[in-house]
Amino acid sequence: MTKQVAIVDYFVIDNGPAHLEAWEAVDSGALFFDRRNADAASGGTEFKRKQLSDTGVVRSFTIVQRGVPGVPVPYISALVDLDGGGCVKTNISNCPPDPEHVKLGMRVKLTTFIAGTDDDGTEAVAFAFEPAN
């Protein structure tokens, strides 16, 4: 079977269904996707892993027409408020990249795609969100 690795470590693909996980500061409940030395909200140093929902609502988006070399455009970038807490920046897939189809407040759900394969044949698995219905 092809070896796979998650594109980022806050996307977990080897422990049940693929899902997002954040560091939750024990003192404040603040959520962070990256490793932190201390909690930016409270200064506390105790964190625990928290699994985030795979559904949510688009609170903002943009449709990128001019991007970096090697990344096809257009694509939809969005901020998604996840059900039960947390907000993630993500691409919106399976949705025509125009303002008639992507809408503020639209419900979306997690999906996965292969972002690339390295010279050892390892696949990078990435996440996106797609319209929920």
Partner 1 sequence: MSTDNVWILGTHMTKFGRHPGSDLIDLASQSAMGALKDAAVTIHDMEVLGCGSLFNAQAGVGQQLQKQIGQTGIPVYNVANACATGATALRTVYLTIKAGEADMGLAVGVEQMGKGGLLGAGGMGDRARKVYEPKGRYGSVMQVEGLLGTGLMPGVFAQAGMEYAYENGGVGFEQFAKVAEKNHAHSTLNPLAHYQKQFTLDEIMGADMMSYPNTLLMCCPNTDGSAAAVLVSEEKLRTLSREQQERAVKISASVLTTDPWTERSSVQPDVNTLTRNAAKKAYDISGVDPKDLDLVELHDCFATAELIHYDNLGLCDPGTAGEWIDKRGPWRDGEIPVNVSGGLISKGHPIGATGLANIYEVATHLRGEAGDRQIPDAKVGLTHVIGLGSACGVHILEKSAL
Q: Whole-angstrom Cα distance, residue 110 to residue 131? A: 9
Q: How far is the CB of 133 from partner 1 (least distance, A)?
A: 20
Rule CB under 8 A: choose which of 51, 53, 55, 77 binds partner 1: 77
Is-contact 74 83, C-beta < 8 A? no
87 near partner 1 (CB under 8 A): yes
The token pair at 111 is 């999906």
Judge residue 126's burial from the number of C-beta atoms within 10 Å of its C-beta, 0-12 exposed, 13-18 middle, 19 or more buried.
buried
84 near partner 1 (CB under 8 A): no
For binding to partner 1 (CB under 8 A), which residues are involved? 5-10, 30-35, 40-41, 59-68, 71-73, 75, 77-79, 87-91, 99, 104-105, 115-116, 118-120, 122, 124, 126-127
